[in-house]
Chains A and B, each alone.
Chain A
């Protein structure tokens, strides 16, 4: 959340996150190269670098792609999401080292431009074991590059979240290309089944996570709300919502987050203006609804970010009948102040008895 752009808005968490990533990568590469040197001393350093960076990039890609569904399944994984872009850029840089050294090693010694050689040295498109797998890796790298250079909020705002999200969904195409790159590349020459098993484990985990999270999300979206009075839809009981937290209801087009805070219920659009994060999965911090993804904040009663920030989300009318919560799914213009619904505090039983005795006397 910021009023102006800077390369990276460093804070303590980001520094810890990035140092951890850096440390992990260096340790991985160090161990891989050392062990390979010991057990296979004939391999050149360039080959070791190509192999170590390829496996590291593939590992990081699997981690990156599992963060999203994990957070949908369990909010405890949300801290991983906060700086996922840093992990993505790191993965791209490592994949770029792999790609650069591969092109240098396999395509730079002839009299043809290495990039031309990449696409012309092997044209066996009709053969599965002989398929030009390096080109698949190259196209995946191009997608990672586009994602890395547009990962900054500057591009998010200028491209619009819709275009930005659509662009970044190409990561799935890139992942498929990487799987093909590995299967039609190293797996065709490597007889050790361990490589296939590791890749199978990775792909299986990702597929299960994404299908589980996707099914859960679509199920939430498809819940029917039948009871309707004067435009208000019955959604839940007051006690179903925890203090300073929300429940989300998909009524009509998009989800609405109903927050309970300071004795009132407020309804705002569930979609954060930053990266379309789910506001209803956040909580109220310092009196503001805080997006769980990157901490963007909105005031519950008007959906506006506290000054000097300018983000706004739509608000909705909420009503409480007894203990039942009703929401009107017709949105007010973004930033419109709404009074919310006051929660009647149930009086203690002793107090009711005393009052009854007084009345009877």
Chain B
């Protein structure tokens, strides 16, 4: 049979132990808990540890700021709040100004009559306007580039049609700076009308142009 200890009847609750440690209990209850602790060494050791901690606490607690420090901190906080409020007011005015300008710009765009210009990009799906062959005239190109023409006709496409003796009439020939006068073939049945200069110098072994 288990023997009960005298203090078992008054097992203190944790808050009572804390109050005991702070000396806030009635003297009778204080005495009864002290008796109970003598029979419960593990609880007594814990209470002793808490008592030592309470003794160390006052020596390690940081010093409270002085009243002057609190006062200066309050002044700084209040000035910061004022600056925040004024900045927020300026931003609000800027936003209002920007919205007003944007609305005015949109209104101007909507009210301005739209004129199609050369730089206006065609909308998607709209066929590109391409010049017709009548709108463009080829001034000069290399013969090899004729196949690359998309619009417009090259000045010469087929075989060259040469003038006949009935088509051309010679009216004059001036000599070159060195006195050379080309052979002019006109009204001949064996050759078409043509101006032929002698080769200068004639290739070796080759005769002068046939008259």
Answer yes or no: do A and B interact.
no
